[in-house]
Chain A
Amino acid sequence: MSSITQTTPAPASVRQYRDYDQPLWKRVLLTREMAIIALLIVVVIVASMTVRGFGQPITLTYLILDVTPILLIALPMTLIMITGEIDLSVASIVGLSSVITGVLTHGGMPFEIAALIALLVGGVGGAINGFLVTVVGLPSLAVTIGTLALFRGLAVGLLGTTAVTDFPEFWTDLAKAKLGATGIPLVIIPFLVLLAIFAVVLHFTPFGRGIYAIGLSKETAAFSGVDVGRTKFILFVLAGLVSALAGIYYTLRFGSARGDNATGMELQVIAAVVLGGVSVFGGRGALHGVIAGVLLIGVLASALRLANVTSDVINIITGALLVISVVSSSFLAWLRTRRQAPGGKPRVEVSTAG
């Protein structure tokens, strides 16, 4: 009998990285990420057929211009959330870097140097988060609620209710420039470069595997030689840097540096990342799903706006989509266990034991 108990499936609390019992095609196609990508494709097709003007290049242009900051920030946020942490301060860093760029440019500094300093400030902001989470050992949710208020407060405090709008035309034009007649904005190129870097780091390097390992079990990761603190610290700094980059882009795109720029964007980013299949408990998720998640929300918003649906119904849809997507996956998991084992108990694999 003791041999039977040894083959009892692991309890539900033990999360598995991948289910290697399944054939390859099942592992690749039947994933959360693929479901989101499929949904995205369906929405795009339905929208192009039913919503007038959705297929126009100009729609694509604005769609990409609008989602770029969220796409950017989603990259480091994905990595942070896979480790089981979270960063709520990203949108405040967007605002802070926007204000710093504005104040310094307004004070006579060349835009390029001001933007570099803003980038640096973003990195320092991320380092503060990383320090408090990894060295002091505080929960990231609490830390980044604090720095959310702190960074936003600095941004609003520095500029008050005024806005800086005098930026070099070269840069503001560049932020909106298109690739020839395609309607695809130029900003897609730096984003794709960053995406490639993040994808390679997350999915093809020991550092990336360490990120998953931390999310699955911090202790096991540490015993396996992953420097948990250093990894998390680097990720928070990266989040700060990328958020600052998004802030500079945001400033140029709207030609305006304001303290309240991108308020509330942290929730949009997290909603998109969770929709894309990243677990807030950590340990699972992939960048292609997250990109699809961001685009799905963006496409829905864009299509509904064109269909004259008030921009706020989009909120209901975003929220409902988020809830349904997470609840349905746990419902499916529940169904699977029910099917395997009537009575709700995990099936005991007697065959291998006998």
Chain B
Amino acid sequence: MSTATTTPTPTSNVTRRLSAIGKARELGILLALVIVVIAATAANPNFLFSADGWRDLLLTPSILVLVAVGQAIVLITRNVDLSVGSVLGLTAYLTGRLFIDLPGIPIIAVFVIAIAFGGVLGLINGALVAFAKVPAMVITLGTLYAYRGINVLWTGSDRINASDLPKSFLALGTEQFLTIPILTIIALVVLIIAGWYMKNTRGGREFYAIGSDPAAAELYGLRVTRRLLTAFVLSGALAGLGGVLYAARYGTINSQAGSGWELDAVGAAVIGGVAIVGGVGSVWGAAIGAVLLLTINRALPILGIPDFWQRAVVGVLIIGAIVLDRVLAVRQKRKLIEARDDS
């Protein structure tokens, strides 16, 4: 074991080239999104050029963007968080209960409590994954059920209605600032911070290092456990923030809020070029993936396709995105080998 040596690899070259592909991948998805929007607008100008159309275009994907950003961070560390939908549902209900049980509670306090609660749920996932060394898929599959079960137990047949929530809070879900919905601004701010953090800070880069090769990261002395905990806490906290915004946006919350979102979040990240095997992708890609996923849903009926087919289109998109990713990776590898043989 003492003779374990690390073979020198052209790391800087590889990462530079990989990030170049990453950029190309995000560009491709962005292009797909633009095409969808243009096609839908051409079929019906109201899709983009009416006040409602513009607002929906920005508003609808905002919450999924938040959840997908958290999911992307976890995926980059070569893990997965399948419990995000349940965390979102639980925090959405918590939000409603806070307003009902503590009348006059400041909105900012609700935000803080919900985000912290989501973070704690994420911490449970992270601790189980990091300390028990059990695959994240199994753990978060378990907590997907457990958190949803707690939600249903707590909610029962109860339901929170818009009339139970303060008007100023509901306004968050609909109000706009310079025609841009507040929810979208929140999502954008989070996205920019997360994007900056992942790209420019040591902590962010360590997520990539861990996802690329967990054993090497450990050998190199990175604090893998702490990073994993951080990734899951971030994912949980963002799902928690998503839960508050869900409550503000929809007003009605039952025990099934957010069910099935885990696959949408993973799907958004995968469409956006985040590799499920870790180490590759960006939160920007995941966010664009989320926007594309939900925009297609609204564009299909306008393009004359019943929205029943939405999931099929999404499926083709996910498969297309990962096949494209694979083709690019194979080509890149061949080029690298050629470059090595030439030198």
User: Which residues of A pack against B, CB within 8 Å?
Assistant: 8, 11, 13, 86, 132, 136-139, 141-143, 145-154, 156-157, 160-161, 259, 264, 267, 270-271, 274, 280-281, 310, 312-323, 326-327, 330-331
Q: Knowing A316-B145, A320-B146, A327-B132, say if A145 contacts B311 (CB, 8 Å).
A: no
| Closest chain A CB from B159 CB (angstroms) | 15
Q: Contacting chain A: which of B115-123, B313-321, B334-342?
A: B313-321
| Closest chain A CB from B67 CB (angstroms) | 15
Q: Which of B102-155 contact A (CB under 8 A)?
A: 128, 132-135, 137-139, 141-150, 152-153
Of residues B133, B135, B138, B260, which shows the largest number of chain A Cβ atoms within 10 Å of its Cβ? B138
Task: Kindly report which residue of chain A lies nearest to residue B277, judged by CB atoms.
Answer: A139
Please name all residues of chain B whose beta carbon is closer than 8 Å to the beta carbon of A271 when the two chains form the complex: 141-142, 145
Please name all residues of chain A whose beta carbon is closer than 8 Å to the beta carbon of B148 when the two chains form the complex: 312, 315, 319
Asked whether B314 lies within 8 Å of A312 as measured between CB atoms, the reply is: no
State whether the Cβ of B308 lies closer than 8 Å to any Cβ in chain A.
Answer: yes
Asked whether A160 lies within 8 Å of B308 as measured between CB atoms, the reply is: yes
Asked whether B308 lies within 8 Å of A259 as measured between CB atoms, the reply is: yes
State whether the Cβ of B266 lies closer than 8 Å to any Cβ in chain A.
Answer: yes
Task: Kindly report which residue of chain A lies nearest to residue B157, judged by CB atoms.
Answer: A310
Please name all residues of chain B whose beta carbon is closer than 8 Å to the beta carbon of A331 when the two chains form the complex: 132
Cα–Cα distance between A86 and B141 once the two chains are bound (Å)? 13
Task: From the candidates A86, A136, A152, name the one contacting B323 in the complex (CB within 8 A).
Answer: A136
| Closest chain B CB from A15 CB (angstroms) | 13
| Closest chain B CB from A195 CB (angstroms) | 24
Asked whether B319 lies within 8 Å of A143 as measured between CB atoms, the reply is: yes
Asked whether B318 lies within 8 Å of A322 as measured between CB atoms, the reply is: no
Asked whether A323 lies within 8 Å of B312 as measured between CB atoms, the reply is: no
State whether the Cβ of B231 lies closer than 8 Å to any Cβ in chain A.
Answer: no
Asked whether B138 lies within 8 Å of A280 as measured between CB atoms, the reply is: yes
Cα–Cα distance between A136 and B146 once the two chains are bound (Å)? 36
Cα–Cα distance between A264 and B141 once the two chains are bound (Å)? 12
State whether the Cβ of B255 lies closer than 8 Å to any Cβ in chain A.
Answer: yes
State whether the Cβ of B63 lies closer than 8 Å to any Cβ in chain A.
Answer: no
| Closest chain A CB from B95 CB (angstroms) | 20
Task: From the candidates A13, A132, A149, A313, name the one contacting B314 in the complex (CB within 8 A).
Answer: A149
Provide a sorted-by-A list of 5 A–B residue pairs whose CB atoms are within 8 angstroms.
A13-B215, A86-B137, A315-B145, A316-B146, A326-B142
Asked whether B135 lies within 8 Å of A281 as measured between CB atoms, the reply is: yes
Please name all residues of chain B whose beta carbon is closer than 8 Å to the beta carbon of A151 when the two chains form the complex: 315
Cα–Cα distance between A314 and B149 once the two chains are bound (Å)? 7
Task: From the candidates B1, B141, B314, B317, name the one contacting A11 in the complex (CB within 8 A).
Answer: B1
| Closest chain A CB from B147 CB (angstroms) | 8
Asked whether A152 lies within 8 Å of B149 as measured between CB atoms, the reply is: no
Asked whether A319 lies within 8 Å of B145 as measured between CB atoms, the reply is: yes
Please name all residues of chain B whose beta carbon is closer than 8 Å to the beta carbon of A330 when the two chains form the complex: 132-134
Task: Kindly report which residue of chain A lies nearest to residue B309, judged by CB atoms.
Answer: A157
Task: From the candidates A8, A86, A315, A327, name the one contacting B152 in the complex (CB within 8 A).
Answer: A315
State whether the Cβ of B263 lies closer than 8 Å to any Cβ in chain A.
Answer: yes
Asked whether B319 lies within 8 Å of A147 as measured between CB atoms, the reply is: yes
Q: Knowing A315-B149, A323-B128, say if A141 contacts B276 (CB, 8 Å).
A: yes
Other 4 A-B pairs with CB < 8 A, given A150-B316, A161-B308, A313-B153: A157-B311, A264-B260, A280-B137, A317-B149
Please name all residues of chain B whose beta carbon is closer than 8 Å to the beta carbon of A8 when the two chains form the complex: 1
State whether the Cβ of B310 lies closer than 8 Å to any Cβ in chain A.
Answer: yes
Q: Knowing A153-B312, A154-B312, say if A326 contacts B145 (CB, 8 Å).
A: no
| Closest chain B CB from A313 CB (angstroms) | 6
Cα–Cα distance between A148 and B260 once the two chains are bound (Å)? 12
Asked whether A320 lies within 8 Å of B142 as measured between CB atoms, the reply is: yes
Task: From the candidates B80, B141, B315, name the one contacting A148 in the complex (CB within 8 A).
Answer: B315
| Closest chain A CB from B86 CB (angstroms) | 9
Asked whether A319 lies within 8 Å of B149 as measured between CB atoms, the reply is: yes
Asked whether A323 lies within 8 Å of B142 as measured between CB atoms, the reply is: yes
State whether the Cβ of B301 lies closer than 8 Å to any Cβ in chain A.
Answer: no
Task: Kindly report which residue of chain B lies nearest to residue A318, judged by CB atoms.
Answer: B145
| Closest chain B CB from A330 CB (angstroms) | 5
The 9 A-B residue pairs whose C-beta atoms are closest, nearest first, are A153-B312, A150-B315, A319-B145, A316-B149, A319-B146, A153-B311, A315-B149, A149-B315, A146-B318
Q: Knowing A141-B276, A149-B318, A280-B138, say if A156 contacts B149 (CB, 8 Å).
A: no
Asked whether B141 lies within 8 Å of A270 as measured between CB atoms, the reply is: yes
| Closest chain A CB from B249 CB (angstroms) | 23
Q: Which of B288-332 contact A (CB under 8 A)?
A: 306, 308-319, 322-323, 326
Q: Knowing A312-B153, A326-B132, A326-B134, say if A150 contacts B319 (CB, 8 Å).
A: yes
Cα–Cα distance between A326 and B152 once the two chains are bound (Å)? 24
Cα–Cα distance between A327 and B150 once the two chains are bound (Å)? 20
Cα–Cα distance between A259 and B317 once the two chains are bound (Å)? 20
Please name all residues of chain A whose beta carbon is closer than 8 Å to the beta carbon of B255 when the two chains form the complex: 312
Asked whether A313 lies within 8 Å of B149 as measured between CB atoms, the reply is: yes
Please name all residues of chain A whose beta carbon is closer than 8 Å to the beta carbon of B143 when the two chains form the complex: 319, 323
Cα–Cα distance between A310 and B313 once the two chains are bound (Å)? 37
Cα–Cα distance between A8 and B137 once the two chains are bound (Å)? 32
Q: Knowing A149-B311, A259-B308, A320-B146, say if A312 contacts B152 (CB, 8 Å).
A: yes
State whether the Cβ of B267 lies closer than 8 Å to any Cβ in chain A.
Answer: yes
Please name all residues of chain B whose beta carbon is closer than 8 Å to the beta carbon of A259 when the two chains form the complex: 308
Asked whether A132 lies within 8 Å of B323 as measured between CB atoms, the reply is: yes
Task: From the candidates B138, B139, B150, B311, name the one contacting A152 in the complex (CB within 8 A).
Answer: B311
Cα–Cα distance between A135 and B311 once the two chains are bound (Å)? 25
State whether the Cβ of B283 lies closer than 8 Å to any Cβ in chain A.
Answer: no
Q: Knowing A316-B145, A322-B138, A323-B143, say if A149 contacts B153 (CB, 8 Å).
A: no
